[in-house]
């Protein structure tokens, strides 16, 4: 314990280590924030996109901060609902039929067209849904009839082909906002309106509408092709990556270490068997085995963790540690311990292992990012955990959907940056630890 406290105190003398610690601290902070604000079940639900949670969020939207760059002014999503209604009237027509008129208005001041438009109805009725007639009002006073339809399903304005034909072959979200007198197709800025005329056929029927004008930007991280906010995956990726990396590193380094020590101490056939298994294991290709397990058994991250640890126990590291333990085995203090009656396992655990802790700790710290990368690569190869949102899976989606070809660089950039920061942070701390614990390496 003392050795750790000492190490941390000494770390403060290395600026790179401090930077590394800050990165690691940020990642850990992120993990806690993620786990506290988005509980596990919530995160899974969000990531699976059940119950239409992402309905009002644009597809493949860029992060909002791109608007901070000069010359970029991408529209945000805005939602018009009852609060934006400027006039409203209800007129009974007799026979239980009512005519309802609503008009909502909003300001549009962007240089870009929105990405998509949808109108969601919130209607109550028993048998006969209300009927609506929709008119689009432009700032220059034009009135465009959108559609006449039943208010029982969302009206996907952007998908309305008749409308598109009517406004000159442009996609509705473009045509409705385009400046009719401009040479190029540019948005006309100003106050737009939507006039809704509805007929209610039942006594207690009611009608409410929401117009969603999907922007080009969303959130801090943007969204993917399934309208999912990438922030969920980026946030939740941190605790998953760290936990996975930490557990895998513990499993791999500790077990390798202990087995090497046992082999060296008992020598003879124990050592021979360990060496033999290691030699065989080294030629076994890890990735194909993981792919086989992932394909035929389970892609659960915990199964993968288990397989990785199992395959790495008898890794080449054993030979490295073995050479070191062989030296330690011949040290006089081990002989002294034997002379005063220490048992085999006491010698291994209390006398041999602690001597190499200085080598183990930096190795352990540097194994963490290696394991994080391994998990990400598995995810990119399609062997990611089926449920959990991870950085690797974001990358995989980006890749499969040709994110870079389509210019959705943010989709690749953010998870890669996080992965790289993780590697950088741990590597910087690891190197500093190595220098602190093994100063001789530096002197010669």
Residues that bind other proteins (CB under 8 A): 3, 268, 272, 331-333, 335-343, 346, 351, 354-355, 357, 443
CA atoms of 221 and 238, how far apart (whole Å): 14
- Minimum CB distance to other proteins smaller for 90 or for 272: 272
Nearer to other proteins, 99 or 346 (CB): 346
Q: How far is the CB of 340 from other proteins (least distance, A)?
A: 4
Nearer to other proteins, 93 or 357 (CB): 357
Shortest distance (Å) from residue 343 CB to other proteins: 8
Q: Least distance in Å: CB of 216 to other proteins? A: 56
Q: Which is nearer to other proteins, 150 or 355 (CB)?
A: 355
Measured from the CB of residue 249, what is the shortest distance to other proteins in angstroms? 22
Please state, in angstroms and rounded to a whole number, the distance separating the CA atoms of residues 372 and 421: 11
**Rounded least distance, CB 433 to other proteins, Å:** 16
Give backbone dihedrals phi and psi of 160, rounded to 5 degrees, phi first. Answer: -80, 105
The residue among 98, 96, 63, 88 whose CA lies nearest residue 77 is 63
Nearer to other proteins, 161 or 268 (CB): 268
Between 52 and 341, CB nearer to other proteins: 341
Nearer to other proteins, 257 or 411 (CB): 257
Is 81 exposed, middle or buried, given 0-12, 13-18 or 19+ CB atoms closer than 10 A? middle
Q: Output Rg (C-alpha) for the chain, integer angstroms.
A: 31
Q: Is residue 154 classed as helix, strand or coil in its secondary structure?
A: coil
Contact 134, 147 (CB under 8 A): yes
378 Cβ partners below 8 Å, 6+ apart? 290, 294, 304, 384, 392
- Taking the complex as a whole, the smallest distance from the CB of residue 27 to other proteins amounts, in Å, to 30
Q: Which is nearer to other proteins, 272 or 420 (CB)?
A: 272
- The nearest distance, CB 412 to other proteins, in angstroms, is 44
Q: What is the DSSP string of 179-241?
A: -TTSSS--BPPEEEEEEEEEEE-STT-EEEEEEEEE-SB-TTT-B-TT--BHHHHHHHHHHHH
Alpha helices in 267-390 (DSSP H): 268-283, 286-296, 301-313, 317-329, 332-339, 344-346, 353-378
Nearest distance from C-beta of residue 264 to other proteins, angstroms: 14
Minimum CB distance to other proteins, residue 243 (Å): 30
Distance from C-alpha of 364 to C-alpha of 172, rounded to nearest angstrom: 57
Tokens representing 273 are 């068997």
Contact by Cβ (8 Å): 282, 315: yes
Instruction: CB nearer to other proteins: give 71 or 341.
Output: 341
């Amino acid at each position: 314990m003392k050795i750790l406290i000492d190490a941390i105190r000494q770390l403060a003398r290395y600026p790179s280590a401090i930077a590394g610690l800050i990165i690691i601290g940020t990642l850990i902070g992120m993990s806690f924030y993620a786990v506290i604000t988005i509980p596990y079940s919530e995160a899974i639900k969000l990531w699976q996109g059940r119950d239409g949670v992402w309905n009002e969020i644009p597809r493949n939207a860029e992060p909002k901060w791109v608007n901070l760059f000069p010359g970029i002014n991408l529209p945000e999503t805005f939602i018009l609902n009852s609060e934006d209604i400027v006039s409203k009237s209800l007129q009974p027509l007799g026979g239980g039929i009512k005519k309802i008129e609503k008009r909502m208005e909003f300001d549009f001041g962007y240089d870009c067209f929105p990405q998509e438009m949808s109108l969601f109805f919130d209607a109550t009725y028993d048998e006969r849904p209300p009927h609506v007639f929709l008119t689009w009002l432009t700032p220059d006073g034009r009135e465009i009839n959108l559609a006449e339809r039943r208010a029982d399903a969302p009206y996907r304005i952007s998908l309305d082909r008749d409308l598109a034909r009517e406004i000159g072959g442009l996609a509705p979200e473009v045509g409705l906002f385009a400046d009719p007198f401009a040479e190029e197709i540019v948005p006309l800025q100003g106050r737009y309106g939507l006039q809704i005329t509805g007929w209610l056929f039942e006594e207690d029927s009611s009608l409410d509408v929401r117009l969603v004008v999907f922007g080009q930007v969303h959130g801090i991280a943007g969204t993917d092709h399934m309208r999912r906010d990438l922030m969920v995956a980026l946030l939740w990726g941190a605790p998953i990556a760290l936990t996975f990396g930490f557990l895998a590193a513990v499993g791999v380094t500790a077990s390798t270490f202990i087995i090497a020590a046992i082999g060296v101490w008992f020598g003879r056939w124990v050592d021979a068997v360990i060496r033999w298994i290691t030699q065989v294991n080294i030629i076994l290709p890890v990735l194909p085995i993981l792919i086989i397990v992932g394909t035929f058994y389970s892609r659960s991250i915990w199964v993968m963790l288990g397989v990785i640890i199992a395959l790495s126990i008898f890794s080449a590291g054993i030979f490295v540690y073995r050479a070191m333990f062989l030296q330690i085995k011949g040290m006089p203090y081990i002989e002294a311990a034997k002379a005063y009656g220490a048992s085999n396992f006491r010698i291994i655990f209390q006398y041999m292992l602690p001597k190499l802790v200085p080598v183990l700790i930096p190795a352990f710290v540097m194994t963490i990012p290696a394991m994080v990368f391994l998990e990400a690569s598995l995810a990119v190869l399609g062997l990611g955990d089926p449920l959990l949102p991870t950085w690797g899976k974001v990358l995989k989606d980006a890749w499969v959907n040709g994110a870079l070809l389509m210019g959705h660089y943010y989709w690749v950039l953010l998870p890669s940056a996080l992965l790289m920061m993780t590697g950088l942070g741990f590597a910087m701390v690891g190197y500093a630890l190595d220098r602190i614990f093994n100063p001789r390496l530096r002197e010669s």
